[in-house]
Amino acid sequence: MMREYRMLVGGAWVEAASGQRFETFNPYTGEAWATLPRGNADDADAAVQAAYGALKRGPWSKLTAAGRGALLRKLGDLMAENAEALARTEVRDNGKLYGEMGAQLRALPQFAYYYAGLADKIEGAVPPPDRDGFFTYTRREPVGVVVCIVPWNSPLALMASKVMPALAAGCTIVLKPSEFTSASALEFGELFEQAGFPPGVFNVVSGFGKEIGQPLVEHPRVAKIAFTGGEESGRRVNELAARHFKRVTLELGGKSPNIVFDDADIESAVNGAVAGIFAAAGQTCIAGSRLFLQDSIHDRFVERLVEVAGAAILGDPNSEETQIGPIATKPQYDKIIEYIAIAKGEGAFCALGGKASELGGQFIEPTIFTGVSPDMRIASEEVFGPILSVLRFRDEEEVVAMANDTTFGLAAGVWTQNIGRAFRMSASLEAGMVWINTYRAVGIGMPFGGMKHSGIGRENGIEGIEGYLETKSVWLNYDGETGNPFVMKIKG
Ligand code: TXE
């Protein structure tokens, strides 16, 4: 039995205006398991108008910051209560490991609680006026209607890091999940209703990037776009937004360096390198896809790496045993297979994997290429799959130059026991996040985002709410005179 989802617009569960639907697939079985409304510009308009109405009129517009916090706390509780069901949906729709999703969903309510607590601590300022008879202050106001566009690789987590601060700031939202993985976001919409958010504050629509995503970005009533996705779509969104001076937060791709010095704890570094690239089958923006090994440890490190990665268990994402699941979408699977051929064609040496798994379907073996040089495409382009490129280096200076020689700047890992080197490296690497003797550590309080082509702005932490606020300066004249030498004085 195919499940049929609907979209949440203005507090009602609706079909697409066109009446059309599309299928969503289980990447493990390859079978369609649900259908979704195929939204277009008409649905985009309806959702934005609902969000705009809720922003300007009605209970949300009058709610105090503490009131918004209380609703967010309720939402967090509901996320915790529904974690199991949401995790199962994500596994079915996206192929994510159940083990990983369980942990992620236990952490996700913290996004709601963190920003619930922050909602009533966003303060304006009272700068001293530069003239007599004036009182001057600033207000922090919600930026307006926010469109949140998220990709398929981690739908709920990427959505939470946008939606929670935006709501805490007082914005209203239209969420557009990826056409490949919309089910969890649509189920998430039910929790907003149960938590008691007024209709129109949170809307969720489904459909394709060009058909409904783009009209949302271009809609005149939308003030800000919070986007996570690929570099090309991010560029398009940024260009369209710029035309209308819309605010953007962009979380895009990466080709992150993971750097191991010869003084590192080798066993930890091997585990960090394996988790860095093969977690979520490499389908994460922070994947440590370029592994830099210092000359003197190169050979024995690769040997151990191949041993550990080669033992990874591929299989059913619902099984607790499984360490690497299927690739989430067929186009992504095809792209990864193509990059394997490109790497071989460029002369990289395949030390592990290098082919589709014998499990069939959308499984790809964990793959390690050594002898990679910086000029190869496999060393510079984001693959977004379980493919590791190994490069070698002589010393600190050389590896900093190589690591930074990329248009991306999302994350970087450094493995060393030398404290001075750790500090130097953290300052020299051009990346939004640097991990020393760890990889992939993330937490709600720490800003997340990239430099260069990896994005604009930061999510999470106190900084994560800034992008959803505007500052308004208020000048109040209390002495009766205009008080401003440049204002015309007209006496009748
Ligand atoms: O992402 P898209 P795709 C990288 C990864 C992957 C590549 C392509 O390398 O191979 O991107 O993946 C919506 N206006 N990442 O094509 O297109 C789209 O509907 C408005 C890295 O799946 O970026 C979806 O909801 N919206 C990344 C969202 O953008 C548009 C995670 C992301 O889809 C749009 C995923 C448009 N013109 C892929 N075009 C990361 N940073 O983690 C598309 N969309």
CA dist 474 → 134, 144, 467 (Å): 10, 19, 21
185 lines ligand 1 (CB under 6 A): no
Compute the distance from residue 163 Cα to the ligand 1 centre, in Å.
Answer: 18
Give, using CA atoms, the residue closest to atom 6 of ligand 1: 230
Domain ranges of the chain: 3-252+454-474, 257-436
pLDDT at 102: 84
Mean pLDDT over 251-258 rounds to 98
Compute the distance from residue 195 Cα to the ligand 1 centre, in Å.
Answer: 30
Taking the CA of residue 177 as reference, the ligand 1 atom at the shortest distance is: 25
Q: State the distance between the two ends of the chain, measured CA to CA, in whole angstroms.
A: 80
Pick from 85, 43, 69, 95: nearest CA to 204? 43
CB 292 within 8 A of CB 403: yes
Give, using CA atoms, the residue closest to atom 16 of ligand 1: 230
Asked if pLDDT for residue 490 goes beyond 80, the answer is no
pLDDT at 486: 65
CA separation for the pair 14, 411 (Å, rounded) = 40
CA separation for the pair 28, 96 (Å, rounded) = 10
Identify which of 22, 36, 162, 178 to mutate to test ligand 1's pocket (most ligand atoms within 8 A of the CB). Answer: 178
Taking only the tens place, the pLDDT of each residue in 91-112 is: 999 999 999 898 888 889 999 9
Q: Radius of gyration (Cα) for the chain, nearest Å? A: 25
Strand pairing class (7-9; 12-14) = antiparallel
pLDDT at 307: 98
* Pair of tokens at residue 210: 């060009």
Confidence at 56, pLDDT banded by 50, 70, 90: very high
pLDDT at 492: 67
Compute the distance from residue 427 Cα to the ligand 1 centre, in Å.
Answer: 30
CA dist 260 → 104, 232, 288, 404, 484 (Å): 28, 31, 12, 15, 62
Compute the distance from residue 130 Cα to the ligand 1 centre, in Å.
Answer: 49
Give this prediction's pTM: 0.96
Mean pLDDT over 455-461 rounds to 98
Q: Is 148 a catalytic residue?
A: no
Taking only the tens place, the pLDDT of each residue in 198-224 is: 999 999 999 999 999 999 999 999 999
Fold (topology level) of 257-436: Aldehyde Dehydrogenase; Chain A, domain 2 (3.40.309)
CATH number assigned to the domain with residue range 3-252+454-474, chosen from the 4 options 3.90.110.10, 1.10.10.10, 3.40.605.10, 3.20.20.60 = 3.40.605.10
Q: Which amino acid is at 279?
A: A
CA separation for the pair 242, 236 (Å, rounded) = 10
Identify which of 22, 38, 149 to mutate to test ligand 1's pocket (most ligand atoms within 8 A of the CB). Answer: 149
Asked if pLDDT for residue 235 goes beyond 90, the answer is yes
CA separation for the pair 271, 401 (Å, rounded) = 25
Taking the CA of residue 383 as reference, the ligand 1 atom at the shortest distance is: 9
Q: Is 251 a catalytic residue?
A: yes
pLDDT at 104: 87
Q: Kindly report which listed range (104-113, 383-392, 447-456, 457-466) carries the lowest average pLDDT score.
A: 104-113
Mean pLDDT over 245-269 rounds to 98
Mean pLDDT over 259-265 rounds to 98
CA separation for the pair 264, 229 (Å, rounded) = 34
For residue 196, the surrounding DSSP H or E stretch is none
CB 275 within 8 A of CB 308: no
Taking the CA of residue 214 as reference, the ligand 1 atom at the shortest distance is: 14
73 lines ligand 1 (CB under 6 A): no
Compute the distance from residue 353 Cα to the ligand 1 centre, in Å.
Answer: 27
Mean pLDDT over 20-49 rounds to 98
Mean pLDDT over 158-186 rounds to 98
Q: DSSP assignment of 366-406, as one string?
A: -EEEES--TTSHHHHS---SSEEEEEEESSHHHHHHHHH-S
Mean pLDDT of the chain: 96
* Pair of tokens at residue 26: 């289980």
Options 187, 231, 285, 466, the catalytic residue: 285
